[in-house]
Amino acid sequence: MNMAKKSILKAAGFSLAFVLTLSCSGDNENLNGSADAVGAVCEIRPSTETENNYDIFCDNKPVGSLANGETGATGPQGPQGPQGPQGDKGEPGESGNTSGGEGGGLVGAGKDGADGNHGVDGKDGTSCRLETPGFEAPLNAVWEVFCGNISKGYLYNGSDGTSCNAVDVGTHVEVKCGSNTITMPMFDLCDGKMYNLTTHICHYGKLKKYFIDERDGYKYPYVQIGTQTWFAENLRYNANGTMGRCFRDDPENCKYMGVMYTFQEIFCDKEDGCLSQWGVVAPAELGEDMGCPEGWHLPYTIELEELFTSADPNFIPGSEASGQGRNSSAKKLKIVSANGTDEFGFNAIPGGFCGSGCPDVNPRWTTLYNGVVADPIRSTFWWHKGFGDPVPLTKSWHMNLSDVVDDAYQSYGTSRFYARCLKNSAPKIKSPEQVPQTIACDGPGAEGQKCHYGQWKDYFTDERDGQEYPYVEIGGKRWMAANMNYDSETNGRICRTVQLGYTTITFESCNLSKCYNDLNGNCAIFGKLYNFDGAKGACPAGWHLPTDAEWTTLAKDVGGTGTNSLVGAAAALKAKSGWNVSSTDGTIGINGDDSHGFAALPGGYGISLTGNISSILDETGFGTSRGGFWWSATTIAANGAHIRHLGPTLANVSRVDNDIQRLYSVRCVAD
């Protein structure tokens, strides 16, 4: 018998003695057996006289019972009322012409007495039963007594009673006390509470379910975060020593932090190796996910960002220049000792990493990004299934002691990082976004104007497709007051080239715009989402995609302050409706005051499932963020452009740069 089972049996004592007077009839609730009685051997037996009742015997003497109350008898009928009194004799009649009349008095009619009341029905007794105690029961409780659905108390072992016989049958323990057999699952304690060892694991003080990897028998705790199910620790699989390394090549670090892998070890399943460029397996060479067990996978970029949005509904994807976006997601995902709260039980721990190809001789084991090797471990990198562009460096995500997840690093696939596995799930059924509330305008508008989110506005007609767009004057500039909904296409021209291994492939008719969640109804409300190439061609003649500087001027003109005029500008730009809907974590967004008629809405964003290479793998995922994202025309780094972001609850506008294959909204400004 293992130690967990022994500790429970010892705690329970399993010696049985009761001094009890029990009844379940009427209002008697004296059901608790004494925990201090000594020496008697007690049993609970089905009653031989009354069906569904129990008798309790100690040393074969009846000492109590669990019984149902009986229904009260019907009361007797009341007696008949007495006869009324006789009437008085009438007065003599007056003499008539012929003879005198007789007495004319009447006999009184007596009333029946009222019926007697029925006797009061007796109360039904509540059926009682005995059950194995639940997790909250005291450890030495043997039975829990329920009458109806109400727990009335526990039956305990006496201190010197006869020992019960406990039998370990593998999956549970059977305890026989007299003629009764109690099935006890294998229990242990987690944060002072009992739990079943066959279904749960106590992991960093939190009770979690676990999954067994059939390849090596390892038990992985997992947690539900939003609609996703994640491993609650890093992958440990090493394919019998042929896959991965431990931090500093110390096996003890693998036990605590998991195994570190190159990207090739996870995805290159060819015996003769895979074609690679810049140390990264070419996307066309990708094989089966060999790291995560069957039923689980290394997350795609968009799946990873859903996790971060669950932790922070104002999440903004990371920068192309630095890898760092705007979020506080790391706070809820990290363990407490790493400045986190571990609110979801994700259990992100500092584990270090190995960069620069991580050679066998003199590997560079690093404890803090841009720090020295001798630092305490304060930094961790994980792989996800995504790629950069134009050079397909592999995507990774990073945490240190700050609250921010750096989610857009591009790394050489020969580096050694950790892996977290996500459970496979059926595709989610998408529903159209909630239609913003209609806001009426005051009075009549000027000729040709239409009411738009509570304000009368002039409209412009796009001659390319006939669609109309409202516009407003802000700071001397004419801005469209709605997102573009033009179907941006390449119309057969070459849209881009991509290097696959050692081969250059040219793509035509790239998909440059989509509706959020691929639902046309969302385009009607929020406009289309464009990658950067599509955004540059979205605005009609006489209008253009605003530069980063023009976005800064707009924020200043509506009252923004600070660097790039971002502080306090959100409310003035946001529409008066459309924001106060629930985010992924239940957070309710805040509508704006739309003081200048800009009427910004939360249009969301999209991205290729594997990162930047949307021309190759044209499977677009859509972020769960309830924010709004808009392109600027200003590029940065090899593959980025500046954007503006409005979050569901943020008071400030955010400015970051993102890779140009993401899908964001477009607002146009007049030339």
Q: How many CB atoms lie within 10 A of CB 238?
A: 18
Helix ranges (DSSP H) in 301-365: 301-311, 329-333
pLDDT bin (cut points 50, 70, 90) of residue 104 is very low
What is residue 35's predicted lDDT score, i.e. its pLDDT?
A: 37
For residue 97, what pLDDT is reported? 44
Tell which residue, 470, 469, 471, 465, has the closest CA to residue 488.
Answer: 465
- What mean pLDDT comes out for the span 148-160? 62
Stretch 463-473: mean pLDDT: 96
The pTM (predicted TM-score) of the whole model is 0.70
pLDDT for the residue numbered 9: 34
Q: How far is CA 318 from each of CA 304, 599, 642, 662, 666, rounded to the nearest angstrom?
A: 12, 26, 11, 11, 19
Q: Is the pLDDT of residue 271 over 90?
A: no
Separation between Cα atoms, residue 418 and residue 234, nearest integer Å: 6
Determine the pLDDT at residue 87.
Answer: 52
**Residue 481 confidence (pLDDT):** 98
The 3-class SS string of 568-600 reads CCHHHHECCCCCCCECCCCCECCCCCCCCCCCE
Question: Which of 449, 444, 502, 501 is CA-nearest to residue 472?
Answer: 449
Q: Which amino acid is at 318?
A: G
Q: Are strands 54-58 and 61-66 parallel, antiparallel or unpaired?
A: antiparallel
- Among the candidates 140, 159, 191, a domain finishes at 191
In a domain, 101, yes or no: no
Length of the chain: 671
What pLDDT is attached to residue 73? 55
Q: What is the mean pLDDT of residues 376-403?
A: 82
Q: Comparing C-alpha atoms, which of 516, 498, 499 is closest to residue 508?
A: 498
Determine the pLDDT at residue 257.
Answer: 95
Phi and psi at 565, nearest 5°, equal 55, 35
Quick check: 655 and 325 in contact, CB under 8 A?
no
Calculate mean pLDDT across residues 90-99: 47
Residue 181 lies in a domain: yes
The whole-angstrom separation of Cα 364 and Cα 382 is 17
The residue that leads in pLDDT, 392 or 546, is: 546
Q: Are 552 and 546 in contact (CB under 8 A)?
A: no
Q: What average pLDDT does the segment 539-557 reach?
A: 97
**Separate counts of helices (H) and strands (E) for the chain:** 9, 41
d(C-alpha 363, C-alpha 239), whole Å: 22
CB atoms within 10 A of CB 413: 27
* pLDDT score of 493: 45
Whether 389 maps to a domain, the answer reads yes
Q: Kindly state the average pLDDT of the residues 178-182.
A: 69
Does residue 359 sit within a domain?
Answer: yes
pLDDT of 328-361, one tens digit each?
999 999 999 899 999 999 999 999 999 877 888 8
Burial class (CB within 10 angstroms; exposed 0-12, middle 13-18, buried 19+) of 414: buried
- Is there a single domain that holds both residue 298 and residue 185? no
| pLDDT over 90 (residue 231) | yes
Angle at CA of residue 555, ends 553 and 560, nearest 5°: 120
The model's confidence at residue 434, banded by pLDDT at 50, 70 and 90, is confident
The shares of helix, strand and coil residues in the chain, as percent rounded to the nearest 5, are: 10, 30, 55
Residues 547, 656, single domain; the answer is yes
185 and 138 inside one domain: yes
Query: Domain tally for the chain?
Result: 3
d(CA 176, CA 454): 76
Q: Based on the fold, state whether residues 135 and 216 are members of the same structural domain.
A: no
Comparison of pLDDT for 104 and 555, the residue scoring more: 555
Of 423, 442, 466, the residue at which a domain comes to its end is 423
Cis ω for the linkage preceding 390 (within 30 of 0): yes
E strands, 315-411, in order: 353-355, 364-366, 380-387, 394-399, 406-411
Query: Which pLDDT belongs to residue 214?
Result: 94
* Partners of 168 in the β-ladder: 173
Looking at the chain, the whole-number percentage of residues with pLDDT higher than 70 is 64
pLDDT value at residue 98: 38
Q: How far apart are CA 92 and CA 69, in angstroms?
A: 69
Instruction: Give the mean model confidence (pLDDT) for residues 436-458.
Output: 94
Residue 337 DSSP symbol = G
**CB-based contacts of 499, cutoff 8 Å, min separation 6:** 277, 390, 391, 392, 505
- Do both 146 and 177 map to the same domain? yes
- Same domain assignment for residues 184 and 210: no
Residue showing tokens 């008798």: 55
- Tens digit of each residue's pLDDT (9 = 90 or more) over 629-645: 999 999 998 788 999 99
Question: Are residue 515 and residue 640 in the same domain, yes or no?
Answer: yes
Average pLDDT (510-525) is 88
Q: Are residues 507 and 419 in the same domain?
A: no
**In the predicted model, is pLDDT for residue 508 greater than 60?**
no
Let me know whether 580 and 662 are in one domain.
Answer: yes
Residue 320 falls inside a structural domain: yes
Q: Are residues 186 and 213 in the same domain?
A: no
Which pLDDT belongs to residue 120? 57
- Where is the domain boundary, 168, 191, 214? 191
Structure token pair of residue 454:
């509570």
Distance CA 503, CA 153 (A): 76
182 and 216 both lie in a single domain: no
Residues 6 or more apart whose CB falls under 8 angstroms from that of 510 comprise 490, 495, 496, 533, 614, 615
pLDDT computed for residue 635 by the predictor: 94
**Contact criterion met (CB below 8 Å) for 71 and 60:** no
Residue 272 has pLDDT above 50, yes or no: yes
Residue 92 in any domain: the answer is no
Burial 130-166 (b: 16+ CB within 10 A, else e): beebeeebeebbbbbbbbeeebbbbbbbbeebbebeb
Instruction: Give the pLDDT confidence of 19-68 residue by residue, as tens digits.
Output: 333 333 334 333 333 334 345 566 777 777 766 677 777 777 777 776 65
Q: Is residue 438 part of a domain?
A: no
Q: Verify that 158 and 288 share a domain, yes or no.
A: no
Tell me the range of 185-194, 357-366, 425-434, 449-458 where mean pLDDT is highest.
Answer: 449-458
Instruction: Residue 598: give the domain boundaries.
Output: 450-670
